[in-house]
Amino acid sequence: MKRILHTSRTLDERIVEGRHESGLRVLICPKPELTGTYALFGTRYGSIDTRFRRAGEPDFADVPEGIAHFLEHKLFESEDGDAFTRFAATGASANAYTSFDRTCYLFFCSDRWEENLDILLDFVRHPYFTEETVQKEQGIIGQEIRMYDDDPGWAVTFGLLQALYARHPVRIDIAGTVESIAGIDADMLYRCYRTFYNPSNMFLCVAGPVDPDRILDKVDALLKDEKGVTIERGVFEEPDGVVTSSVTRQMAVAMPQFALGYKETPDDGPLTSLRERVETDVLLRIVAGRSSRLYNDLLERGLINDAFSASFFTGHGYAVTLFEGESRDPEAVAAALEEEIGRLRREGIDEEAFKRAKNSLYGQNVMMYNSVERIAGALADCAMEGTDLFAVDEAYRAVTRRDLEERLKGRFDPGRRALSTVTPIKE
């Protein structure tokens, strides 16, 4: 395994990277001064990967929506029991999650990190599915889907994505639908597993008081005979415009909830994506952060509360700038936001506001190194983007006010905007 040492030019931090010939990327941040270890074993496989083929296969496979999340649930099971029981015996806390573009399995422990790492690497690499256990899981996940259907926050977000996207699978609930998961069987799960859980499509991130050489040697021994695969993902022809500019749903809420989103064009390439993410984070802090003119004006007018937030997320074929929160008048919030964006385009970004936003976010990034959980999560982002952790630090340091003004010109297109609301049920 090729081993690379990354050191920060400005911080007393280092990252040890291992690149296995199979394609697996291992990122380790040794933190001897911290007491806990956090490890994350992930694959570049999420809910949007519903159409794919491996190199050499003549046809694309189309699989049911929600299968990546279904597979995540099933991997914890084995013929000898489940992985949670194994982790409990060592005192570790374990979990997993599926998002639009990735599935990750993780643990946190205060000691015995090597034993826990062995468990993590073992259960993720040894799937066990039968038709009987798959049918049982369909009932369990079906209940989970119904539970999320009753969650106003979940409903308002996916209402927005369905208003923005006509064909891209980002518009579908990560868990799928009760109808879609009914079509999943053991053979499908094994096909998805063999495709997306190949080491060439995976990454391992560890932060804590660990020995990087022992981790890399362990991975080397585990993957000595593994070969990588090439995956071709399906392309979804998504129109530029939105499906609808407004969507609403009545639910049991005390105050209306809203999600205002702009359908952006995703940048190409890992370094470009990193720059886009950093610049957009700073821009959103200037536009609608807690020290911004807009945020305080909306707060004084009683149009928002402290639940208001702004974020940006992007992946294969999608990118969304999102503002969400609670408001008695979501339309007024949307109008005020567009007015503020127009003002910034006309007048430019204030230098002091720029410095304040940039320094705040850079400071948060530095503080991240005090948390093994945040470090491991940031390493996973780097693995997905094909960058390294210190490139993020440099991107924050390098961003300029002019960069943001240029970024502002191509964002927040009113013709690609949608507003999703959840309002109280009328008596």
Residue whose token pair is 């992930």: 42
Catalytic pick among 17, 65, 72, 137? 72
Q: What residues contact residue 94 under an 8 Å CB cut-off, 6+ apart?
A: 83, 84, 87, 105, 106, 107, 120
Q: Are 374 and 108 in contact (CB under 8 A)?
A: no
Between helix 389-398 and helix 270-288 the angle, nearest 10°, is 50
Judge whether 394 counts as a catalytic residue.
no
CA distance 288 to 412: 13
Neighbour-count burial of 392, counting CB atoms closer than 10 A to its CB (0-12 exposed, 13-18 middle, 19+ buried): buried
Beta strands in 189-245, from DSSP E residues, in sequence order: 202-208, 231-233
Residue of 166, 175, 25 lying closest to 100 (CA atoms): 175
Nearest residue to 220 via CA among 121, 78, 83: 121
Torsion angle of alpha carbons 30, 214, 223, 18, nearest 10°?
A: 40
CA distance 333 to 129: 49
Helix, strand counts (H, E) of the chain = 15, 17
Rounded distance between C-alpha atoms, residue 240 and residue 261, angstroms: 14
Strand partners, 217: none
Task: Using the Cα atoms of residue 118, residue 124, residue 125 and residue 127 in order, give the sign of their dihedral.
Answer: positive
Distance CA 260, CA 312 (A): 12
Three-state SS for 292-328 is CHHHHHHHHCCCCCCCCEEEEEEECCEEEEEEEEECC
Query: Are the C-beta atoms of 162 and 242 separated by less than 8 Å?
Result: no
Closest Cα to residue 378, out of 250, 253, 243, 278?
A: 278
The dihedrals phi and psi of 52, each to the nearest 5 degrees, come to -165, 165
Which residues form the catalytic set? 72
